[in-house]
């Protein structure tokens, strides 16, 4: 199994409070991603990182920010949580390209269930 | 624009039946990659297979098989002789070679229930 952990695994918070979710990997993979999973939508990309301090927006980035100060850690922050951000959040990692070989597989962490009341 | 459609929201079968999960994709890229992931009731996402657009060979892994047809933009997944442990949500996903983010575009998933 890919070495990916997420913390916390469960969190209940109130509207308007800041929340930070952490993703930690031991695989030294270049790419890291945050997705949210909602019924009827599958997984949707929030933000991703392609290296330390290199991040970019995904499909549903409004209300979220990210940071990556070390290869192994990727943080997702909800500056002021809203009820619409109640979801299951998954972190994923991907090696990207090694030499001429492109690795597209993503490996996922266990998920964080966030409830915003 | 890229898109993945899994029209079957939920499928229920009796153990030992064969079942096929459909996946239809849209992309303008000539090189792309298709994936299947399994999400069992415990919630984790498990990688099952990757298929490259330039390799149309079908693949079999035990009771699992995948049928890739470029002509119909489909990448269907068949489970032969289904078992209760196959009960899960299955996601099909697409990644385009021209996308430097390597991101995956997911379908909405198909929930498979295998009854004893």
Under 8 Å between Cβ of A60 and A66: no
Q: In this predicted model, what pLDDT tens digit does every residue of A37-69 receive, in sequence order?
A: 998 888 999 999 999 999 999 999 999 999 999
Asked if A42 lies within 8 A of B91 by C-beta distance, the reply is yes
C-alpha to C-alpha distance for A15 and A18, rounded to whole angstroms? 9
What confidence tier does B54 reach under pLDDT thresholds 50, 70, 90? confident
Give the closest of B45, B101, B109 to A90, CB-based: B45
The predicted structure's pLDDT at residue B76: 97
User: Which residues on chain B are in Cβ contact (under 8 Å) with A32?
Assistant: none
Strands B105-106, B88-96: pairing kind: antiparallel
Rounded to a whole number of angstroms, the distance from the CA of B47 to the nearest CA of chain A is: 7
Tell me, yes or no, if B44 comes closer than 8 A to chain A by beta carbon: yes
Question: Could you give the C-alpha distances from A77 to A34, A64, B18, B104, in angstroms and in order?
Answer: 11, 6, 44, 21
């Amino acid at each position: 199994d890919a070495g990916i952990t997420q913390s916390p695994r469960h969190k209940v918070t109130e509207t308007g409070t800041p929340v930070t979710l952490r993703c930690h990997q031991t695989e030294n993979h270049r790419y890291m991603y945050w997705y949210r999973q909602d019924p009827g939508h599958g997984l949707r990309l929030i933000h991703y990182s392609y290296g330390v301090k290199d991040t970019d927006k995904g499909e549903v980035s409004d209300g979220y920010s990210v940071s990556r100060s070390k290869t192994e850690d990727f943080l997702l922050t909800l500056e002021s949580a809203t009820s619409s951000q109640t979801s299951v959040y998954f972190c994923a990692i991907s090696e990207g390209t090694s030499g001429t070989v492109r690795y597209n597989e993503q490996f996922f962490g266990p998920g964080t269930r966030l409830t915003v009341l | 624009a890229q898109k993945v459609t899994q029209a079957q929201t939920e499928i229920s079968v009796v153990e030992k039946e064969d079942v096929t999960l459909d996946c239809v994709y849209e992309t303008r890229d000539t090189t792309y990659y298709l994936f299947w992931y399994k999400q069992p009731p415990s919630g984790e996402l498990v990688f099952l297979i990757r298929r490259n657009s330039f390799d149309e060979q079908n693949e079999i892994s035990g009771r699992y098989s995948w049928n890739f047809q470029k002509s119909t933009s489909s990448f269907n997944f068949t489970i032969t002789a289904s078992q209760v442990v196959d009960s899960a949500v299955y996601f099909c996903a697409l990644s385009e070679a021209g996308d430097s983010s390597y991101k995956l575009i997911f379908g909405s998933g198909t929930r498979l229930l295998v009854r004893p």
